[in-house]
């Protein structure tokens, strides 16, 4: 079974620039998450999709972050404009839900300079 694919693996941008991350979940997984993980901390949920609908985006900074899930499969997360404090690893995970586990992608490490 293929895992969760994320790209790019690394990205360095200047503040105020825009950036986009891509995630391809495991086939058939209805639930997709985007997490932000700052060094030394646990993952922080940004947005959760169930199929192509948003379940929870309460912690997504909507003035600069946006996300969509195309046809309930792939998802993109965008930051525009980026701030220094956005430097983090952005993790995508998918799953069938509770009791069945979740699979994470390798993450995208973003550095804003």
CB of 20 to another protein, least distance (A): 18
Report in angstroms how near the CB of residue 37 gets to another protein at its nearest. 8
Instruction: Write down the least CB distance from residue 64 to another protein, Å.
Output: 22
Q: Which of 46, 82, 93, 112 binds another protein (CB under 8 A)?
A: 93
Alpha-carbon gap, residue 94 to 44, rounded angstroms: 15
Count of C-beta atoms within a 10 Å radius of residue 11: 18
Q: What is the dihedral of CA 51, 54, 59, 63, to 10 degrees?
A: 120
Q: Is 28 in the site for another protein (CB under 8 A)?
A: no
- Give CA 79 to chain center in angstroms: 11
Contact 99, 49 (CB under 8 A): no
Residues that bind another protein (CB under 8 A): 4, 6, 31, 33, 39-43, 45, 48, 50, 55-56, 89, 91, 93, 97-99, 101-107, 109
């Amino acid at each position: 079974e293929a895992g969760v694919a994320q790209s790019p693996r690394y990205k360095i941008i200047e503040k105020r620039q825009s950036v986009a991350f891509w995630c391809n979940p495991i086939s058939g997984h209805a639930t997709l998450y985007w997490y932000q993980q700052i060094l030394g901390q646990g993952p922080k949920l940004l947005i959760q999709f169930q199929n192509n609908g948003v379940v929870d985006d309460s912690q997504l900074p909507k003035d600069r972050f946006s996300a969509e899930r195309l046809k309930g499969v792939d998802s993109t997360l965008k930051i525009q404009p980026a701030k220094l404090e956005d430097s983090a690893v952005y993790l995508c995970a998918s799953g069938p839900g509770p009791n069945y586990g979740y699979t994470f992608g390798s993450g995208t490490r973003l550095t804003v300079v």
